[in-house]
Amino acid sequence: MDAELVHQAMGRFEFALVGKLLGRRLPFHYLQTELQRRWLPHGDFQLIMLSGDCFTCVFHSVEARDGVLMGGPWFLNGFLVGLDVWSRTFSPSSLSGLSSPLWVRLPCLPLIYWDKKNLGRIAAMLGDPLWIDAVTSRWERAEFARVCVKADFSKPLPAGVWISGPFGKKFQKVEYEGIAVICFKCGCVGHKIGSCPLPPPSRIPVLCSSLIKAGWSCVMGSGSSCTWTCATAAGPLWQR
């Protein structure tokens, strides 16, 4: 390949963003109309579709690009858009690098932790802390504290975090605003548990534990190839 032409092509994407609609595919014309309505105030751009749920937006200035990148969270049809600065290694099939500002609720968080420093510590366990909700900072509503973080969608979103204080440890539940599709198995956004790529957990440890409690013992091998025997059992050894 001609290196000079490759670098010229890369120069076109100096102020580009890549985006992925998490959990939904939309037609090009609908996506273009909705993104123009939301992003044209930051500056003109060219939309390039990479797949049904992935696209590149080429802006004309770093200010326009970064204004969109940090101006979210952005939603289309109720689905969150993950964004990242364009790079030549970006893959439409991956969530690597994609992020978005994301509002997080901390339900039933004790009021003794509702100061800026401690809320920032909790937020840092979920992403890069950005903002604290004005209502939260004024203590006007105590049902939940609300913070905004920059969430990395290549990493699982935890269902909660452990916080340590002067009175011991507490598991704090976490709720994410605007996440329509999340897998409760791996914690990742963009798919549900029925299509999770992780293999099902092995039942072998549970099976072995149950056999040991029932009076069986392993006399040969281990795990799935173990040969079991029981002092009270009649007949040949049972092999799993």
Please report the pLDDT score of residue 35 as a whole number. Answer: 92
> Who has greater pLDDT, 221 or 239?
221
> Who has greater pLDDT, 233 or 47?
47
Task: Please report, rounded to a whole number, the percentage of residues in the chain having pLDDT higher than 90.
Answer: 29
What are the domain boundaries of the chain? Answer: 3-85, 99-195, 204-239
Specify whether domain 3-85 bears CATH 2.40.30.20: no
Band of residue 237 on the pLDDT scale cut at 50, 70, 90: very low
pTM: 0.64
User: Around Cβ 64, how many Cβ atoms within 10 Å?
Assistant: 20
- pLDDT tens digits along 46-103: 999 988 788 999 999 999 999 998 888 888 888 888 888 888 888 777 767 778 888 9
Please report the pLDDT score of residue 107 as a whole number. Answer: 93
Band of residue 36 on the pLDDT scale cut at 50, 70, 90: very high
| Alpha carbon 123 to its chain's center | 14
Stretch 146-156: mean pLDDT, rounded?
87
Stretch 106-119: mean pLDDT, rounded?
92
Please report the pLDDT score of residue 180 as a whole number. Answer: 62
Stretch 31-60: mean pLDDT, rounded?
90
- pLDDT tens digits along 198-232: 666 554 454 445 445 444 545 444 544 454 444 44
| Alpha carbon 226 to its chain's center | 39
- pLDDT tens digits along 159-181: 899 998 888 899 999 988 877 66
Give residues with Cβ within 8 angstroms of 40, minimum separation 6. none
> How far apart (Å, rounded) are the C-alpha atoms in residues 22 and 34?
16
Checking if the pLDDT of 21 tops 50, the result is yes
Q: Compute, in degrees rounded to 10, the torsion defined by CA atoms 219, 220, 222, 224.
A: -100
> Who has greater pLDDT, 234 or 114?
114
